[in-house]
Chain A
Amino acid sequence: MIYIFDGTLEGLLTAVFEWFERKPGPAILKSKEIHQPDAFMPSFEVLTDREKADRVWKGMAKKLDRAWMRRAYCSYLSELPQIHHDLFQFIIYIFQSPSGAEQNYGHPQVLSITQTARKVEREKHRMEAFIRFQKTADGMFYCGIDPDFNVIPLLVNHFKNRYADQQWIIYDLKRHYGIFYDLQTVEEIEMDIDISLLKKTNQNLLDEKENLYADLWKNYFKSTNIVARKNTKLHTQHVPKRYWKYLTEKL
Chain B
Amino acid sequence: MSERLIQKLNILADAAKYDVSCSSSGSDRKNTNKGVGNGHQSGICHTYTEDGRCVSLLKILLTNHCIFDCAYCVSRRSNDIERAAFTVDEVVELTMNFYRRNYIEGLFLSSGIFKNADFTMERLLRVVKKLRLEENYNGYIHLKTIPGASDELITEAGLYVDRMSINLEMPTEVGLKLLAPEKSHQDVIKPLGFIKNQIVQFKEEKKLIKSVPKFVPAGQSTQMVVGATPETDKDIMYTAANFYKSFSLKRVYYSGYIPISNDSRMPILGSQPPLLRENRLYQTDWLMRFYGFDVKELLNDNNPHLDTDIDPKLSWALRNMHLFPIDINTADYQMILRIPGIGVGSAQKIIQARKFGKLYIHQLKKIGIAYNRAKHFITCADTPFQLKDFQSHQIKGFILAESQSKYLKTPNEQLLLF
Chain A contact residues, CB within 8 Å of chain B: 101, 103-108, 111, 125, 128-135, 141, 143, 158, 161-166, 209, 212-213, 215-217, 219-235, 237-239, 247-249
Nearest CB in chain B: distance from A144 CB, A = 13
Instruction: Provide the residues of chain B in CB contact with A129, threshold 8 Å.
Output: 44-47
A133 touches B100 (CB 8 A): yes
- Minimal Cβ-Cβ distance residue in A for B360: A106
CB contact list, B92-149 vs A, under 8 A: 94, 97-98, 100-103, 136
CB contact list, B342-376 vs A, under 8 A: 349-350, 352-357, 359-360, 363, 366-367
Those 3 A-B pairs whose CB atoms lie nearest each other, nearest first: A234-B52, A229-B51, A105-B353
Choose from B9, B14, B47, B98 the contact partner of A239 (Cβ within 8 Å). Answer: B47
- Minimal Cβ-Cβ distance residue in B for A143: B102
B310 interfacial by beta-carbon distance below 8 Å: no
Choose from B34, B45, B360, B367 the contact partner of A165 (Cβ within 8 Å). Answer: B34
B102 touches A224 (CB 8 A): no
A219 touches B47 (CB 8 A): no
Measured CA separation A224–B14 after assembly (Å): 5
B6 interfacial by beta-carbon distance below 8 Å: yes
B34 touches A164 (CB 8 A): yes
A105 touches B31 (CB 8 A): no
Choose from B30, B35, B40, B49 the contact partner of A225 (Cβ within 8 Å). Answer: B49
Instruction: Provide the residues of chain A in CB contact with B272, threshold 8 Å.
Output: 228
A220 touches B9 (CB 8 A): yes
Choose from B5, B45, B54, B103 the contact partner of A132 (Cβ within 8 Å). Answer: B103
A164-B34, A215-B6, A226-B258 in contact; A132/B102 too (CB < 8 A)?
yes
Instruction: Provide the residues of chain B in CB contact with A131, threshold 8 Å.
Output: 102
Q: Secondary structure of the A side of the interface?
A: helix
A-B pairs with beta carbons under 8 Å apart, 19 shown: A103-B353, A104-B353, A104-B355, A134-B101, A143-B102, A162-B38, A163-B100, A164-B31, A165-B136, A209-B97, A220-B10, A220-B98, A228-B258, A229-B51, A229-B275, A231-B51, A233-B52, A233-B406, A238-B52
B59 interfacial by beta-carbon distance below 8 Å: yes
A165 touches B36 (CB 8 A): yes
Measured CA separation A104–B355 after assembly (Å): 8
Nearest CB in chain B: distance from A242 CB, A = 14
Measured CA separation A165–B9 after assembly (Å): 27
Instruction: Provide the residues of chain A in CB contact with B13, threshold 8 Å.
Output: 219-220, 223-224
B2 interfacial by beta-carbon distance below 8 Å: yes
Chain B contact residues, CB within 8 Å of chain A: 2, 5-6, 9-11, 13-14, 16-18, 30-31, 34-38, 40, 44-55, 58-59, 94, 97-98, 100-103, 136, 256, 258, 272-273, 275, 349-350, 352-357, 359-360, 363, 366-367, 406
A223-B9, A224-B55, A235-B48 in contact; A162/B14 too (CB < 8 A)?
no
Between A111, A223, A230, the greatest number of chain B beta carbons within 10 A of the residue's beta carbon is seen for A223
A103-B355, A105-B349 in contact; A162/B17 too (CB < 8 A)?
no
A164 touches B59 (CB 8 A): no
A164-B34, A165-B34 in contact; A104/B352 too (CB < 8 A)?
yes
In addition to A164-B36, A223-B10, A247-B47, 15 A-B residue pairs with Cβ atoms within 8 Å of each other are A103-B352, A105-B349, A105-B350, A106-B353, A129-B46, A164-B34, A165-B136, A216-B5, A217-B98, A219-B10, A223-B17, A227-B51, A228-B258, A229-B53, A238-B54
Measured CA separation A133–B196 after assembly (Å): 38
A229 touches B353 (CB 8 A): no
- Minimal Cβ-Cβ distance residue in B for A248: B103
A129-B44, A163-B100, A165-B34 in contact; A224/B49 too (CB < 8 A)?
yes
A232 touches B34 (CB 8 A): no
B366 touches A231 (CB 8 A): no
Choose from B16, B52, B356 the contact partner of A104 (Cβ within 8 Å). Answer: B356
Choose from A209, A216, A231 the contact partner of B52 (Cβ within 8 Å). Answer: A231
Measured CA separation A143–B6 after assembly (Å): 25
Instruction: Provide the residues of chain A in CB contact with B30, threshold 8 Å.
Output: 161
Nearest CB in chain A: distance from B409 CB, A = 15
Choose from A134, A135, A166, A233 the contact partner of B36 (Cβ within 8 Å). Answer: A166
Instruction: Provide the residues of chain B in CB contact with A101, threshold 8 Å.
Output: 356
- Minimal Cβ-Cβ distance residue in A for B364: A106
A230 touches B9 (CB 8 A): no
A133 touches B101 (CB 8 A): yes
B44 touches A125 (CB 8 A): yes
- Minimal Cβ-Cβ distance residue in A for B37: A162
Nearest CB in chain A: distance from B80 CB, A = 19
Instruction: Provide the residues of chain A in CB contact with B359, threshold 8 Å.
Output: 106
Between B102, B352, B355, the greatest number of chain A beta carbons within 10 A of the residue's beta carbon is seen for B102
B49 touches A135 (CB 8 A): no
Instruction: Provide the residues of chain A in CB contact with B367, threshold 8 Å.
Output: 105-106, 111
A230 touches B50 (CB 8 A): yes
Instruction: Provide the residues of chain A in CB contact with B14, threshold 8 Å.
Output: 223-224
Between A104, A111, A164, A220, the greatest number of chain B beta carbons within 10 A of the residue's beta carbon is seen for A220
Choose from B6, B9, B36, B357 the contact partner of A162 (Cβ within 8 Å). Answer: B36
Instruction: Provide the residues of chain B in CB contact with A239, threshold 8 Å.
Output: 47-48
Choose from B10, B38, B47, B101 the contact partner of A135 (Cβ within 8 Å). Answer: B101
Measured CA separation A226–B13 after assembly (Å): 11
A165-B35, A234-B52 in contact; A213/B352 too (CB < 8 A)?
no
Instruction: Provide the residues of chain A in CB contact with B46, threshold 8 Å.
Output: 129-130
Measured CA separation A143–B103 after assembly (Å): 12
Instruction: Provide the residues of chain A in CB contact with B352, threshold 8 Å.
Output: 103-105
- Minimal Cβ-Cβ distance residue in A for B93: A213
Instruction: Provide the residues of chain B in CB contact with A228, threshold 8 Å.
Output: 258, 272-273
Instruction: Provide the residues of chain A in CB contact with B97, threshold 8 Å.
Output: 209, 213
A221 touches B102 (CB 8 A): no
Nearest CB in chain A: distance from B48 CB, A = 4
Instruction: Provide the residues of chain B in CB contact with A164, threshold 8 Å.
Output: 31, 34-36
Nearest CB in chain B: distance from A224 CB, A = 5
- Minimal Cβ-Cβ distance residue in B for A112: B366
B51 touches A106 (CB 8 A): no
